[in-house]
């Protein structure tokens, strides 16, 4: 699979990425035209959720790949940026399946096609794109702090904007009332931070090993 660029024609690559781009874009554009709705038992505009935002990042990357392939330009985003986007969307899938579904009792709404696409299909395809289309340059461990910029900003956004404006938290594990105080919330954020670091370490190792 990692040899996709060499085995599949450029036109087929464009078609495949375009399909993922259009479906993902459809699912992330809809929330901007919908009123507040119940998502994960929380009534908030869908665009404030980490899932939607990380899928937007992925859409931008897919669009960049399509344009480069169509124009026959072998220029791809920096490997640290693509690694960060890959980690963000993988966190979307991991937290969804490992935390949110068990926490919310595996409700049928959680298994709708849109949720499966944005939490499972997109993360897996983005992981493939990372290995196929990232620049063939080594990633140093010193780049790890860059990966935490968006998660930190999202945490600030959740408390200073979402809670201030809507009086609610976008995810149950950010809600001190549900979690039993701010200490469990801090613990959950720490665990997720360690997951970010673990994914960075693992993907960095695989990327560097591939390019030698």
Please say if the pLDDT value at position 150 is more than 70: yes
Is residue 72 pLDDT above 80, yes or no?
A: no
- Looking from the CA of 9 toward its CB, the CA atoms found within 13 Å total 3
Residues 6+ apart with CB under 8 A from 30: 46
Average pLDDT for 154-180: 93
Note the pLDDT tens digit of each residue in 169-208: 998 889 999 899 999 999 999 999 999 999 999 999 999 9
Measure the CA–CA gap between 55 and 120, rounded to whole angstroms: 11
According to the model, what pLDDT value does residue 35 have?
57
Q: What is the mean pLDDT of residues 157-167?
A: 95
* Residues counted in the chain: 212
Distances (CA, A) of 160 to 6, 50, 164, 167, 179: 47, 15, 6, 10, 19
More confident residue, 95 or 59: 59
More confident residue, 9 or 56: 56
Mean pLDDT value across residues 127-155: 93
Q: Is the CB of residue 83 less than 8 Å from the CB of residue 205?
A: no
Distance CA(162)–CA(67), nearest Å, equals 34
In the predicted model, what is the mean pLDDT of the chain? 88
Q: What is the pLDDT of residue 109?
A: 74
CB-based contact 117:21 (threshold 8 Å): no
In this prediction, residue 1 has a pLDDT band, given cuts at 50, 70 and 90, of very low
What is the rounded CA–CA span in Å between residue 195 and residue 91?
A: 8
What mean pLDDT is predicted for residues 95-104?
82
Distance CA 5, CA 134 (A): 12
């Amino acid at each position: 699979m990692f040899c996709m660029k060499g085995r599949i024609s450029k036109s087929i690559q464009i078609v495949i990425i375009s399909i993922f781009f259009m479906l993902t874009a459809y699912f992330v554009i809809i929330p901007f035209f919908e009123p507040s709705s119940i998502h994960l038992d929380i009534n908030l505009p869908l665009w404030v959720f980490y899932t939607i935002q990380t899928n937007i990042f992925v859409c931008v990357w897919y669009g960049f790949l399509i344009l480069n392939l169509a124009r026959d330009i072998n220029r791809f985003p920096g490997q640290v940026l693509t690694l960060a986007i890959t980690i963000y969307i993988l966190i979307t899938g991991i937290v969804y399946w490992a935390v949110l579904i068990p926490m919310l009792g595996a409700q049928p709404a959680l298994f709708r096609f849109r949720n499966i696409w944005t939490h499972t299909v997109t993360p897996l395809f983005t992981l493939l794109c990372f290995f196929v289309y990232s620049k063939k340059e080594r990633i140093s461990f010193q780049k790890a702090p860059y990966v935490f910029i968006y998660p930190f900003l999202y945490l600030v956004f959740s408390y200073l904007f979402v809670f201030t404006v809507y009086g609610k938290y976008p995810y149950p594990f950010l809600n001190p009332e549900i979690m039993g105080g701010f200490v469990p919330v801090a613990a959950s954020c720490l665990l997720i931070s360690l997951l970010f670091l673990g994914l960075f370490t693992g993907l960095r190792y695989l990327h560097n090993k591939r390019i030698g």
